[in-house]
Amino acid sequence: MSDTGDLRENDGDRRSPRAPSRDSGPTDTPLPAGTIGDDLARTVSSHGDRDALVDVPSGRRWTYREFDRAVDVVAAGLLAQGVRTGDRVGIWAPNCPEWTILQYATARIGVVLVTINPAYRTFELQYVLNQAQIGTLVAATAFKTSDYTAMIEESRDECPDLTSVVYIGTDSWSDLVAAGERALADDPDTVAAVSLGLSPDDAVNIQYTSGTTGFPKGATLSHRNILGNGFFVGELCGYTEVDRVCIPVPFYHCFGMVLGNLACTSHGAAMVIPGESFDPAATLRAVEQQRCTSLYGVPTMFIAELALPDFASYDLSSLRTGIMAGSPCPVEVMKQVIDRMGMTEVSICYGMTETSPVSTQTRADDSIEQRVSTVGRVGPHLEVQIVDPVTGETVPRGESGELCTRGYSVMLGYWRDPAKTAEAIDDDGWMHTGDIGVMDDDGYIAVTGRIKDIVIRGGENIYPREVEEFLYTHPDILDAQVIGVPDSRYGEELMAWIRMRDGAAVLDAEALRAFCSGRLAHYKIPRYVHIVDEFPMTVTGKVRKVQMREESLALIE
What pLDDT, on a 0 to 100 scale, did the predictor assign at position 147? 96
Alpha helices in 48-169, H assignment, sequence order: 64-80, 97-108, 122-131, 148-155
Please compute the mean of the pLDDT values over residues 209-221 and round it to a whole number.
75
Which residues of the chain does CATH 3.30.300.30 include? 454-554
CA distance 131 to 241: 39
Give, to the nearest 10 degrees, the angle between helix 280-290 and helix 299-306: 80
Given a cut of 60, is residue 6 above it in pLDDT? no
Residue pair 496/530 in contact (Cβ under 8 Å)? The answer is yes
Please compute the mean of the pLDDT values over residues 443-454 and round it to a whole number.
87
What pLDDT, on a 0 to 100 scale, did the predictor assign at position 214? 58
Question: Which residue, among 162, 176, 165, 175, has the nearest Cα to 140 in the 3D structure?
Answer: 165
Question: Which residue, among 525, 528, 462, 464, has the nearest Cα to 496 in the 3D structure?
Answer: 528
CA distance 242 to 292: 10
The string of pLDDT tens digits covering residues 477-494 is 999 999 999 988 888 899
Question: Which residue, among 95, 163, 90, has the nearest Cα to 127 in the 3D structure?
Answer: 90
What pLDDT, on a 0 to 100 scale, did the predictor assign at position 300? 85
413-416: Cβ within 8 A, 24+ apart: 413/220, 414/217, 414/218, 414/219, 414/220, 415/131, 415/132, 415/206, 415/217, 415/218, 415/219, 415/220, 416/131, 416/218
What are the angstrom distances between the C-alpha of 440 and each of 18, 20, 50, 378, 392?
A: 10, 10, 42, 12, 19
CA distance 58 to 72: 22
What pLDDT, on a 0 to 100 scale, did the predictor assign at position 371? 86
Which residues of the chain does CATH 3.40.50.980 include? 63-199
What pLDDT, on a 0 to 100 scale, did the predictor assign at position 372? 82
What pLDDT, on a 0 to 100 scale, did the predictor assign at position 543? 87
Please compute the mean of the pLDDT values over residues 323-335 and round it to a whole number.
82
Helix (H) / strand (E) containing 234: helix 223-236
CATH class as words, domain 63-199? alpha beta
The string of pLDDT tens digits covering residues 410-438 is 999 999 999 999 999 999 999 999 999 99
Given a cut of 90, is residue 368 above it in pLDDT? no
Tell me which fold the domain 454-554 belongs to.
GMP Synthetase; Chain A, domain 3 (3.30.300)
Given a cut of 60, is residue 213 above it in pLDDT? no
Lowest mean pLDDT among 30-39, 116-125, 289-298, 438-447: 116-125
378: helix, strand or coil = strand
Please compute the mean of the pLDDT values over residues 301-323 and round it to a whole number.
97
Question: Which residue, among 434, 416, 238, 283, has the nearest Cα to 353 in the 3D structure?
Answer: 434
Torsion of CA 467, 468, 470, 471, to 10 degrees: 120
What pLDDT, on a 0 to 100 scale, did the predictor assign at position 42? 98
Please compute the mean of the pLDDT values over residues 192-213 and round it to a whole number.
88
The string of pLDDT tens digits covering residues 76-135 is 999 999 999 999 999 999 999 999 999 999 999 999 999 998 988 898 899 999 999 999
What pLDDT, on a 0 to 100 scale, did the predictor assign at position 460? 77
Residue 324: pLDDT band (50, 70, 90) is very high
Q: How many CA atoms lie within 13 A of 244 on its CB side?
A: 22
Higher pLDDT, 368 or 163: 163
Please state the φ and ψ torsions of residue 134, each to the nearest 5 degrees. Answer: -75, 125
Question: Which residue, among 107, 103, 83, has the nearest Cα to 95 in the 3D structure?
Answer: 103
CB neighbour class for 502 (10 Å; exposed up to 12, middle 13-18, buried from 19): exposed
CA distance 388 to 276: 42
- Residues recorded for the chain: 557
What pLDDT, on a 0 to 100 scale, did the predictor assign at position 426? 96
Give, to the nearest 10 degrees, the angle between helix 299-306 and helix 331-341: 50
CA distance 120 to 491: 35
CA distance 70 to 138: 16
Residue 12: pLDDT band (50, 70, 90) is very low
CA distance 400 to 439: 8
Residue 16: pLDDT band (50, 70, 90) is low
CB neighbour class for 416 (10 Å; exposed up to 12, middle 13-18, buried from 19): middle
In order, the DSSP letters of 42-72 are: HHHHHHTTSEEEEETTTTEEEEHHHHHHHHH
Question: Which residue, among 206, 133, 168, has the nearest Cα to 60 in the 3D structure?
Answer: 168
Residue pair 226/254 in contact (Cβ under 8 Å)? The answer is yes
CA distance 114 to 103: 10
Report the amino acid identity of residue 57: P
Q: Are strands 112-115 and 88-92 parallel, antiparallel or unpaired?
A: parallel
Give, to the nearest 10 degrees, the angle between helix 148-155 and helix 122-131: 50
What pLDDT, on a 0 to 100 scale, did the predictor assign at position 419? 94
What pLDDT, on a 0 to 100 scale, did the predictor assign at position 369? 84
Cα-trace Rg, the chain:
24
What pLDDT, on a 0 to 100 scale, did the predictor assign at position 331? 77
What pLDDT, on a 0 to 100 scale, did the predictor assign at position 350? 94
Give, to the nearest 10 degrees, the angle between helix 97-108 and helix 64-80: 70
Q: Over the chain, what is the mean pLDDT?
A: 92
